[in-house]
Amino acid sequence: MNKISLTYPIENSHHVACRDCALHPVCDPTPVGNIALDISETLVSKKTPVKAGEVIYQEGQPFEDLYAFTTGSAKEVWHYNQPEQQVISFKIIGELAGQNAIANGIYPYTLVALEDSSICTIRYQDLLNSAKSLPHLLTKVIQLLSVDSHHESEIRKSFAIATNAEAKVRSFLYNISSRYKNRGRNHIDIKLSMSRSEIASYLGITKETLSRSLTLLQNKGLVESSGKFIHISNFDLLSRHEESI
């Protein structure tokens, strides 16, 4: 097996193209009669920097804003900084965060930047107020939330059919790779911004089990791994069930 390179370009530090960002349906000019109205200038706070480890919102905090990562990534954590803390999700470049607070009006988890990142922020109530007078904008809001809901469902489905730890790790890597691909990023050579402990917490397995599973996937020629660097050797085969490998 070839050694994985530690010097291939990593794109997380480059801003995602607007067309590949989760907020694009809202930021894209909205038709009003014979003109296209760009509401992003008034509704969206663009490319605010956040530092690695910075808390963007806290569990139990009243819901106000939606966020999209133009660079970097983050983790959602339940019971952050407590002994029983649990990683709930990872947000990568271009993805939306905060939408799971809409139903109950509070953020259910704490969002923490995994690396130096940039975020665009939109005040949800301002978005709804604008949508009242712009029917096309309301359609875009529905599209924004439905697309995100579909992506979350696909992630949950992939883990639901994972029958063992190796299958969970394979599903995780395939999901991360697919999400980078959907955002127009390099999905073959990936730098994971999360630690092995955070991945293990997310998958509900131990660090040792995670390491063993990665070794098994390498031995099958599906991935190459060196620290946080992952090379996807066979993207299509990585998505298949354990029984077919």
23 and 130 part of one domain: yes
Q: Check: CB of residue 47 under 8 Å from CB of residue 70.
A: yes
Q: What CATH number does the domain containing 184 carry?
A: 1.10.10.10
Which has the higher per-residue pLDDT, 227 or 87?
A: 87
pLDDT at 34: 66
Tens digit of each residue's pLDDT (9 = 90 or more) over 12-36: 557 777 777 878 777 777 776 666 6
Distant-in-sequence, close-in-space partners of 155: CB < 8 Å, separation ≥ 6: 89, 175
* Residue 89 structural domain: 18-155
User: What are 37-75's pLDDT values in tens digits?
Assistant: 677 778 888 889 999 999 999 999 999 999 999 999 999
Counting other chains too, the contacts that 78-85 makes at CB distance below 8 Å and 24 or more residues apart are: 78/108, 78/109, 78/110, 80/55, 80/109, 80/110, 80/112, 85/201
- Give pLDDT, residue 182: 87
In a domain, 236, yes or no: yes
Domain endpoint, select from 155, 177, 203: 155
> Could you report the per-residue pLDDT of 82-109, keeping only the tens digit for each?
888 999 999 999 999 999 999 999 999 9
Name the strand (E) or helix (H) holding 2: none
Residues 220 and 124 in one domain: no
Contact 22, 68 (CB under 8 A): yes
Q: What is the CATH number of the domain that holds 62?
A: 2.60.120.10
CB 211 within 8 A of CB 196: yes
Residues 67, 139: one domain?
yes
Q: Is the dihedral of CA 134, 149, 77, 169 positive or negative?
A: negative
